[in-house]
Amino acid sequence: MAGSLFAAHIDEKSTIGPVSQAEVLVRAAREGRDEEMASDIDALGIAVTPMPTDAGRRLAKLRAATAAKMPDCCVLLTAQQADASVATFDDRLRRAAEGLGIRVLPC
């Protein structure tokens, strides 16, 4: 599913926040393949958008406004920072993004 979503939007810039990147790399890290997986992500042209210096305050506001879990708030913050769409299969994250006026890619 994720592969077809990525393929459908291959011409668009892609970014990931550091918390989401860490979640993607957990299994590979357990298997000692995290550097290889990180290189694969880089090869796909997926940039890492760093957390801003005011991330704590902004994440608190996002959590208060949406009641989303903190990892989802990190996704929302990354989308806001990069003026990007959100790609998700999670209905709660989809609703939170749409409620904030963030475009959600069709899945």
Domain count, the chain: 1
DSSP state for residue 52 in the 8-state scheme: P
**Residue 107 domain-assigned?**
no
Structural domain includes residue 38:
yes
**CB contact at 8 A, 28 and 36:** yes
Pull the structure tokens for residue 15.
């970014």
Judge whether 82 and 103 are in contact, CB under 8 Å.
Answer: no
Q: Show the tokens assigned to 69.
A: 């879990």
Which residues form the domain of 37?
2-99
> Is 13 domain-assigned?
yes
Scored b (16 or more CB within 10 A) or e, 73-104 reads bbbbbbbbbeebbbbbeeeebbebbeeeebeb
Task: Dump pLDDT digits (tens) for 15-59.
Answer: 999 999 999 999 999 999 999 999 988 988 899 999 999 999 999
How far is Cα 62 from Cα 77, in angstroms, rounded to an integer? 8
**Assigned domain for 104 exists:** no
Assess if residue 68 is contained within a domain: yes
pLDDT at 8: 60
Assigned domain for 106 exists:
no
> Is 105 inside any structural domain?
no
Q: What global pTM score does this model have?
A: 0.87
